[in-house]
Structure 1
Amino acid sequence: MLAHKDYKVDQARPDDAAAMLHFWQGIPGLGIGQGDDEESLQLFMARNPSTCLVIRDAEGLIGTVLAGFDGRRGYIYHLAVHQDYQRKGYGQTLLNRAILELQTLGARKMHLFILRDNPTAAAFYERQGWQNRHDIQVFSWDTGR
């Protein structure tokens, strides 16, 4: 249950990108890497307008989620809530809204990625009913190397 009634979930706009990047830098355990720059974020939001969300209250930005659909699977990235607002329902609100938007687009299965050294995020997703997969591995290719 949300502790505050005065909040609003909106689609992220291109002019939110700089504030989102700054916000993520203050979230422990959220990995910011290649592709997390203002231009790339704006491109992602343009391709996924209904699934990239921010949550605000009277104080400003308190949470974000990026979600995308590739035509087969939905993906959740950078679900983050300001530390002062955690464990009050804001993350669950963002996650549920992103899931609903992905389902509307046709996603029947969704994945998300968290860093191994972020037990807070792992516990959050487990409480939401997500399954920690042990049968697959993630491999990445860095085009800048």
Structure 2
Amino acid sequence: MEDLRIRAAGPSDVDAVLAFWKVAAEGTSISDDRDGVERLVARDPGALLLAEYGDGELAGTVIAGFDGWRCHLYRLAVCPERRRRGVGTALLTAAEERFARLGGRRADAMVLDRNAPAHHAWRAAGYAPQPQWSRWVKPLTD
């Protein structure tokens, strides 16, 4: 796959990631702001993974968080023009490798119900919806 590389995001990537998510991510999150992403990168420097082509073109992202017990995947997003070319698979492989290094044994993913194209990608990567679980959310800020 033409010179695609995966690397951890750093503080200098925050603005590019936020701009990328406006184009490539389905919907927004309460934490999709500079403070939220800066906190993520500072607290867990390896969690926000970026897929880039050789010229620095941002092609995809995933947040691969590990709390010491469970592995959590968020914000798998691929540039619309780069979809169905293995970018998402490469990101998920890198995330799972990170989890294995950290001792993680089980991963869960946050996937919007209405994002049907993403369901295909997650299933292709071996993930399955868990209908017996319900996601309960409480925003901690306004």
Shorter-chain TM-score: which interval?
A: over 0.9
CA distance in 2, matches of 1:144, 1:101: 30
Amino acid at match of 1:49: P
Q: Report the equivalent of 1:138.
A: 135
> How much does 1:105 deviate?
0.9
Amino acid at match of 2:134: Q
Q: Report the equivalent of 2:70.
A: 73
> More displaced, 52-61 or 67-76?
52-61
> How much does 1:143 deviate?
2.1
Q: Report the equivalent of 1:24.
A: 21
- Structure 2 unpaired stretches of 5+: none
CA distance in 2, matches of 1:92, 1:142: 30
Q: Report the equivalent of 1:117.
A: 114
Q: Deviations over 1:8-49 (max 9, x none)?
A: 211111111111111011125x22121111111111122222
**1:1-145 equivalences in 2 (<5 Å):** 2=1, 4=2, 6-27=3-24, 30-57=26-53, 58=55, 60-145=57-142
CA distance in 2, matches of 1:133, 1:54: 27
User: Would the aligned equivalents of 1:52 and 1:66 in 2 still touch at CA under 8 Å?
Assistant: yes
Q: Alignment identity in percent?
A: 30
Q: TM-score, normalised by structure 1?
A: 0.91
Amino acid at match of 2:74: Y
- Structure 1 unpaired stretches of 5+: none
Give the CA RMSD over aligned residues: 1.3
User: Would the aligned equivalents of 2:40 and 2:47 in 1 still touch at CA under 8 Å?
Assistant: no
Consecutive aligned runs of 4 or more in structure 1 exceeding 3 Å deviation:
none
CA distance in 2, matches of 1:144, 1:54: 27
